[in-house]
Structure 1
Amino acid sequence: MDGKSDLNPFYHELHYSTYQIVKIVLMSVFVVPLRLIAVTFALSLGWLICVLTVRGLTHEELKKPLRGWRRWIQRELGPPVAQFVFFTIGFLFIRTRGRRATKKEAPILTMAPHSSWTDALLHFVDDISSPVSRMDNAELPIIGAMVKFLQPVCVSRDMANSRSDSLNEIKRRAKQPENSSDTSAIDWKQVALFPEGTTTNRKCLISFKTGAFQPGVPVQPVVVRWPNYFDCVTWAFVGPSVYKLIWLQMCQPITFVEVEYLPVYIPSEEEKENPTLFANNVRQVMASALKIPVRNYSHRDGVQFRRRFLASQHGWTTKFTILEKLAQKIGLVPKMLEDVVKYLSQKQHSADLISREYLEDLIGLEAETKSKMDVRESYEEFLPLIQNAEGAISLQKFIVLVSLWLCKKQKAVEPLKYLIQASGIDDMSQLSRTSVENCLKTIFPSNFQSKSDLIADMFKLNAISFDRLKNGLIRDDNDIFS
């Protein structure tokens, strides 16, 4: 997945025009301070209302719809207060199209694309809804009271039973009770969730999780558009931080958002039996309305892309630190790694790509050792350093990284010959200019052009020896090769 590809849903880059820069400076000086006062007041008011509403309720009581005055505050006072909070940061108008279905018509609202922290506002458009939220959010200071006030369906990616419990809760809230003493499902508002399960840059719709579709009830697709010239709402895996986005958001005189309610989608009998088919068909309807393609990516793809992207930004010193940390965790000494790259450099490979299993066998990473939390974290941090753009493990990247690490560790350039031999060159006394250029492109992918003087100096003759290459590299880049 190319980091800046038009269809990469996990990458977002801001482009500042002169007008935007001037506007941000002026707004930061004259408007943002006033907005900060306003939003602080609005949040404090909202927090106080939430705290008073849920005060004294047990965890079990919060699993049932609120009653009496608490219910009135949640459903009548909650939405305008939430809209006031967003009003203070620039959401002056929210345009809606279509008609929101009743709970009887569609117990579940499926919203997409999920692209911003401000998507929380959508739970208060027209009417309040039952959101799906991370379990951790309920324990956060200030935000926790607001989450409890909304009584969301809580889910955790880390807890084994969380997904099944959340699915059962969605089913319970969505399905009307039949001949049952539990009539609380009638009192719950519509369940509203973003089936993508993570944020993207809205360039495509990624795979829908099936939680909203497993109950087999009608759903109403809701598409969200942000028709702003300067996009400071998109929160992707790689891009501006949420803090920077909040600041830029405050610097915009007005932020436009459009919510469109599509016709209720009633599943067929086949879709009721096959939630994945149901989810894919609804996704296609929403993608057609948005005029964007669909792509089968998931939250895990976003995490892996972020790791690979960050790995590509690392200098060699950082990469060496990550490799050394893994080596220490699994008991790999430099001599063992040198034996591995020596073996690989002399072995003829039909392809550059290797499997995880092959890599783990090479470095002696056993299943029992890998199951340890600290080892697994170090291993997952190491893998992006040797993966290509598609996430496959590159044998060449592994040899390059380990060879250069050995150069640094041993304060010698000798291990560099493994890198050269891996490219199929056996005669180390006659290295061609092409082979050396390829070697330097591998070592210095981001600043290869700066090595033109080094290449010109070394190649006063048609070919050079490995010793001449070593001397040139030591003189040119003392940080690695000494």
Structure 2
Amino acid sequence: MSNPQATDNAHPLARAERLSLSEDLEGIGFDIDPKQDQLHAFLGKKHPHSFAHPWEMVKVGFWSLLWPVRMLVLWFTLIYWRLAGVFYNRGLSTAPQVADPMDPRRRAALNATSKRCARILLYCLGFMRLRVTTPLPSADAVIPCVMNHVSWLDLVVCNALSIHSFVVADTVRNSPLIGGICGSNNCITVHRDDRGSCIAAAQLLEARNCVKDGSGYGRLPACPVSVFPEGHATNGSCIARFKSGAFRNGPVQPVAISYPHRFYNASQTSQNVTFYLFKMMTQVYNRVQVSFLPVMSPLPEEAPAAFAFRCQKAIASHLGVPTSRHSVSDALQYDESRRASMAPSPAPLSASLEAANGPSPVGTPHLSPKATPTHPLSTTQTSPGIGREGMAARLRI
């Protein structure tokens, strides 16, 4: 039988990901209030003004006339942005690299094109103004940005602010247009279900953001990489657990993104993309607010998980929302367990648990069909009037 401790020592990134954040932080003096665990952070928010509201019907009826024009401009801009990336990357590899393969003049031209195209996309989606509540960091800053993740629009907003390189999921990188744009901006791709990919991405992130020249956190040979440590978009009701991979390399620049709204929430957790774009384009206007918080550095002997939690709390405090110890993987596992436990046969439950956790050791009983899955989310308090079955039924990513 393999030794878990040896595995953790062999792969430094594994421990904070395999153990729950509460166990890591409680061992180093941090307390997490269980009342702050927000299970519904990964649920699609119910909007108070649906199509049944008179004002919403008037807006949709009027702006539907301009919706085809906006959509046409949006697609034209995306195609132009992609072709610009192909043009400026001609003869170069689009695989993630430590050193930027593009010469400075090409990179400056592509960044300017990306910024203009991002602004046009925001205009098409009703964002007439991009509000930045704090001064932008210096163009020569080499510190990576860590930010909360609310929607895929976060990528567009960041490009409009001259933040062009990210750590993106393989599903984003493999998409026809957006994936090509990410490749031209030297983004780092990570496969969520592949431990080796996560470790390789973290090592490349460290090389990109922590190249030293003898004077501290010196110059960068490529664009600084920005990270969404939550790993998945939430509905903005809280800040989900930060993964610790981005917090092993020194100082970070926390960034808080929010979409203040009265009628339609810009967060996209479980909505159809076409319907999402339609609703965004049929609003009178949409708002986005970006705040660059003070640069945070790890304390002496501070564990990466503790540093990640401090940054998580800083962003949550600025936005006025609670923190959560749960991640999107917790939500997915809990949803799978609950759906399997409600099935007529107990076989799917035991099969799914064995597939996720491996065969049970000798002497460890399997869960019975009526037993509650021993998952961290199973102890989370749900909203009044909503049972666990009801919450699991609503939990759709």
Q: Same-fold call, TM > 0.5?
A: yes
Indicate the SS of the match to 1:259.
strand
Name the counterpart of 1:299: 328
Are residue 250 (structure 1) and residue 285 (structure 2) matched? no
Kept after mapping to 2: 8 A contact 1:307/1:384? no
* Structure 1 position 119, deviation (Å): 1.0
Name the counterpart of 2:169: 134
Name the counterpart of 1:74: 110
> Measured at CA, do residues 230 and 387 of structure 1 come closer, stay the same or move farther in structure 2, by a change above 3 Å?
farther
The separation in 1 between residues aligned to 2:261 and 2:207, in whole angstroms, is 38
> Measured at CA, do residues 366 and 282 of structure 1 come closer, stay the same or move farther in structure 2, by a change above 3 Å?
closer
Are residue 157 (structure 1) and residue 192 (structure 2) matched? yes
Are residue 175 (structure 1) and residue 210 (structure 2) matched? yes
Deviations 1:229-254 (A, max 9, x none): 12341122xx4323321221111122
Of 227, 230, 233, which aligns to 2:260? 227
Kept after mapping to 2: 8 A contact 1:130/1:188? no
CA RMSD between the two structures? 3.8
Are residue 214 (structure 1) and residue 243 (structure 2) matched? no
The separation in 2 between residues aligned to 1:197 and 1:146, in whole angstroms, is 20
Of 70, 79, 99, which aligns to 2:135? 99
> Measured at CA, do residues 369 and 79 of structure 1 come closer, stay the same or move farther in structure 2, by a change above 3 Å?
closer
Deviations 1:290-341 (A, max 9, x none): 11111101011231355478789x9xxxx55xx49x57xxxxxxxxxxxxxx
Per mean C-alpha deviation after superposition, the further-off stretch among 206-215 and 300-309 is 300-309
**What TM-score do you get using the length of structure 1 for normalisation?**
0.60
1:206 partner letter: A
**Structure with the greater alpha carbon radius of gyration:** 1
The separation in 2 between residues aligned to 1:68 and 1:108, in whole angstroms, is 20
Indicate the SS of the match to 2:195.
coil
The separation in 1 between residues aligned to 2:356 and 2:235, in whole angstroms, is 37
Name the counterpart of 1:121: 156
Q: Runs of 5+ in structure 2 lacking a partner? A: 1-36, 360-368, 380-389, 391-397
Name the counterpart of 2:86: 51
Deviations 1:334-379 (A, max 9, x none): xxxxxxxxxxxxxxxxxxxxxxxxx74xx9x99699969xxxxxxx
Indicate the SS of the match to 1:258.
strand
* Structure 1 position 189, deviation (Å): 2.5
1:269 partner letter: P
Higher relative contact order (CA 8 A, sep 6+): 2
Indicate the SS of the match to 1:92.
strand
Kept after mapping to 1: 8 A contact 2:142/2:218? no
**What TM-score do you get using the length of structure 2 for normalisation?**
0.72
> Measured at CA, do residues 164 and 303 of structure 1 come closer, stay the same or move farther in structure 2, by a change above 3 Å?
same
* Structure 1 position 201, deviation (Å): 1.3
Kept after mapping to 1: 8 A contact 2:41/2:235? yes
* Structure 1 position 168, deviation (Å): 0.9
The separation in 2 between residues aligned to 1:147 and 1:302, in whole angstroms, is 27
Indicate the SS of the match to 1:192.
coil
The separation in 1 between residues aligned to 2:106 and 2:141, in whole angstroms, is 26
Q: How many residues align?
A: 333
Q: Identity across aligned pairs (percent)?
A: 25
* Structure 1 position 227, deviation (Å): 1.0
Name the counterpart of 1:191: 225
Kept after mapping to 2: 8 A contact 1:117/1:233? no
**Bigger proportion of residues as helix:** 1
Alignment of 1:342-421 (within 5 A): 360=350, 392=378
1:301 partner letter: D
